[in-house]
Structure 1
Amino acid sequence: MEIYLIRHTTPNIEKGICYGQSDLDLDENYASEFKTIQSKIPIAGSIKVYSSPLKRCSLLAKQFNNEVHYDNRLKELDFGNWEMKLWDAIPEKELTPWMSNFVNTAVPGGESYTQLASRVKAFFEDILNSGAKENLIIIAHAGPMRAFLSSILDIDLKDSFNIKINYGDIFHLKKEANTIRLITEVPI
């Protein structure tokens, strides 16, 4: 089984704003970004598409197949009280503890990176155990993708932000028996 893990295209939001599970529209260049993504995926035959239900992923997912399986476990980190605030406007007394241990410290009203990694791991375990034979396209966000790739590459979660993931990036994986093998070279 071939698996293509894809980060959504560029969202329509100003730089410097904290967003995770906010439901954002896509940038006006969406159509050309999609064509670039589509040209890099040589899937033939039956495909099954999974996606975060957030608009910036679901719009891309629908381009591949009308039948999309939405899964909340693919959502970006829940930034809770910080959603849609300028990073510079987040109180230092809240930001400092999180920045010093973002893996285990939950954002006020949100979640920790460990919690995100746990739900992403559960999603991929379900995929492995499903017995599905179709090729998969999975549309997600950088946080869930880094968490999953760090487990494949045996990288600590705290170091997973060294994995560079741009908007529209694609990671090709292959499921063989009960394992997932990474085909794409990962820039670290």
Structure 2
Amino acid sequence: MSIYVIRHTTPLIEKGTCYGQADIDVTATFEDEAQIIRRHLPAGLQRVYSSPLQRCRKLAEHLFPGHAIHFEHDLKEIHCGEWELQQWNDIPREEIEPWMNDFVNVCIPGGESYVHLFTRVTRCFEAMTASGKTTAIVTHGGVIRSILAHITRTPLHESFSAFSVYYGCVVKIDAHHDGFTYEILSNIPTAKEQHQPSR
């Protein structure tokens, strides 16, 4: 069984903005990025899952027009709570420092911690793989890092350095009797993302 995990295309958002579950659109490069993704997907996929946020939904519907797409809340990006759509540099230092010192365990105010994201994502992933069907998952960077950390037993605090996940990347995960292996099929570098204040 193979699982094809796909990150959404470039979002229409100003650089330096904190976003997670904000329902933002995609840029005008969507069609070109989707065409690159399509080259790495097989025929005969049996199941398609997607985050319901439009940057994923649009891609799933574009790539898989003949499939019933299962939209899963647990495939959403981390919930950034009170920081959603704020500029990273505008978030007060005293508010952001505890999170920057331990982003794995500390909750974003009104939102989630990385552990919360990881827990819901891995629960969802395990349920999907239990079906034994060849599957596509259209989702977000934090979700993909959570899945890869889970199958490789990589500590969460190392997952950003361990896994470079650019917009439009495609990761093939193969299930074996003793675990999982993965292969990066497409991962074209884009502009560096900002996940904390630049100061």
TM-score range, shorter chain: over 0.9
SS in 1 for 2:123: helix
2:197 corresponds in structure 1 to none
CA distance, structure 2, for counterparts of residue 112 and residue 136 of structure 1? 27
- CA apart distance, 1:148: 1.1
Q: Distance between the aligned counterparts of 1:31 and 1:186, measured in 2? A: 16
Q: Deviations over 1:32-84 (max 9, x none)?
A: 0000100122x122431100100000100112324110101111010000000
Cα displacement (A) at 1:181: 2.3
The total of aligned residue pairs comes to 184
Correspondence for 1:110: 111
2:36 corresponds to 1:40: no
Partner of 2:190: none
1:136 & 1:26 partners in 2: Cα distance? 24
Identity of aligned residues (%): 40
Matched, 1:154 2:147: no
Cα displacement (A) at 1:154: 1.8
Asked if 1:28 is matched to 2:31, the reply is no
1:115-150 deviations in Å (ceiling 9; x for gaps): 000001101111122x343x2110110001111101
Provide, for residues 135-188 of structure 1, a one-character-per-residue CA deviation record: whole Å limited to 9, x for no partner. Answer: 21101100011111012222100000111110001111112347432133899x
TM-score by length of 1: 0.92
Say if 1:21 and 1:78, in contact at 8 Å, map to a contact too.
Answer: yes
Which structure 1 residue ranges, 4+ long, deviate > 4 Å from structure 2? Answer: none
Tell me how far apart the structure 1 counterparts of residues 70 and 177 of structure 2 sit (CA, whole Å).
Answer: 23
Question: d(CA) in 2 for partners of 1:14 and 1:46?
Answer: 35
Work out the CA distance in 2 between the residues paired with 1:97 and 1:38: 41
Alignment-mate amino acid for residue 13 of structure 2: I
Contact persistence 2:145–2:160 (CA under 8 A):
yes
Measured in 1, the distance between the counterparts of 2:45 and 2:158 equals: 36
Instruction: Tell me, yes or no, if the aligned pair for 1:128 and 1:179 is still in contact at 8 Å.
Output: no
Cα RMSD between the aligned structures?
1.7
Amino acid paired to 1:165: V
Matched with 1:136 is 135
